[in-house]
Amino acid sequence: MNFASLIGTTDDSLRFSEDGYFVWCGSMFKYKDKYYLAYSRWRRELGFGAWVTDSEICLARADSMLGKFKYVLTIRTKDTLGRWDSSCAHNPTVLAYDGRFYLYYMGNDGDFTPERGWWDYRNRQRIGVASAANPESLDPSDGGWTFSDKPLIDVSPDGIDSLMVSNPSVTATPDGRFLMVYKAVSSGGTPQKGGTSHKDGTPPKGGRVICGAAFSDYPDRDFVKVGRPIMVNPENDWSVEDPFIWYGGERYYALVKDFQGYFTKSQRGAVALFESDDGIDWQPSEYPLAFERKLYYPDRTLDVANLERPQLYFEDGVPRLLICACSVDAEHSDVFSVRIKLKHM
């Protein structure tokens, strides 16, 4: 697949932002002839880095696929209950399956002290799931959102994800199971491909940033990790993040942020396309560059500082939109979720 050939244009009407907030991420789905966007937001006054300490997940609605999104409700926010996700909810991605919507997300319960601070929140990131039959309700008796009491994917002390896990993406498999690909960070000393060991980094930053995979017979429980890294950059510990996966009829595909531009042979932070026959062994596509940090308008091209967290919106089995988080400049003065039209395959 040459994903780059599908990239179309956007315009200012396809931006979604909110006054007083940074808006990030964006997973789009359809329910009862309306279009919904699950997204992350946090208060601007806290600074851009507060995504890891204060992000919440919200829902917006539009009347058409290219219509204007408007805030509907907050699905998950900070609380004082001491849950594993009490501090932060981030990285929403929605899977529609068998009459329900499954919202996968990152949560954490950090401890802000001068000694630990920001990194403590980052390193406590875990993956959870919520589900609903009626996404506009918070009342489970009305089909509204119910949340997992514990992480769906936790760290494995001796695994590739011994420090933290985040960035979940899930797809149904042709044999009736569910595949998750997620971001994994090790705490140190993880063997590299080929069996040679190296020191993976020092606290609190930790070691390699890669992706892992897990399978389950159910969309909301019992995921079993493959246990080895996928999509590994052999030249740099920071490989990829922000996976979005789907099954394309003959194989699996993944869009991932290429930290170093290693796989795309392009700019740092470009998005790469990977392919897999089984969801375990992944290789860069024949055309590995999916897109660069550029927005294409009918009359101009805009280079941006960040264009990441890729998600696709499918209708009738065809990808119609690419949704990304965007920051125009490195100072994060102009931040939004953007829809990009895709050309027909």
Q: Which amino acid is at 314?
A: F
Which strands, in side-by-side order, build the sheet including 209-216? 164-172, 178-185, 209-216, 224-225
pLDDT tens across 207-221, in order?
999 999 999 999 999
- HSE of 29, CA atoms in CB hemisphere, 13 A: 22
Choose among 311, 326, 313, 228: nearest CA to 269.
Answer: 326
**287 C-beta neighbours (distance < 10 Å), count:** 14
Alpha helices per DSSP H over the chain: 51-54, 117-123
Distance CA 162, CA 165 (A): 8
pLDDT of 193 reads 41
pLDDT tens across 17-53, in order?
999 999 999 999 999 999 999 999 999 999 999 999 9
Please classify residue 12 by burial: count the beta carbons closer than 10 Å to its beta carbon, then call 0-12 exposed, 13-18 middle and 19+ buried. Answer: exposed
**3-class DSSP state of 3:** helix
pLDDT of 162 reads 95
Omega into 92 within 30° of 0, i.e. cis?
no
Distance CA 334, CA 23 (A): 10
Residue 258 structure tokens:
């290429």
pLDDT of 182 reads 98
Sign of CA dihedral 296, 299, 300, 302: negative
pLDDT of 192 reads 43
- Please report, rounded to a whole number, the percentage of residues in the chain having pLDDT higher than 70: 94
**1 C-beta neighbours (distance < 10 Å), count:** 15
pLDDT tens across 269-298, in order?
999 999 999 999 999 999 999 999 999 999
Are the CB atoms for 120 and 204 separated by under 8 Å? yes
How confident is residue 114, by pLDDT bands cut at 50, 70 and 90?
low
Partner residues linked to 209 by β-bridges: 185, 238
- HSE of 12, CA atoms in CB hemisphere, 13 A: 3
For the cut 80, the answer to whether the pLDDT of residue 194 exceeds it is no
pLDDT tens across 127-182, in order?
999 999 999 999 999 999 999 999 999 999 999 999 999 999 999 999 999 999 99
Distance CA 225, CA 247 (A): 19
Residue 156 structure tokens:
């494995």
How confident is residue 189, by pLDDT bands cut at 50, 70 and 90?
low
Distance CA 219, CA 3 (A): 27
Residue 20 structure tokens:
């007083």
User: Which position has the token pair 């896990």?
Assistant: 165
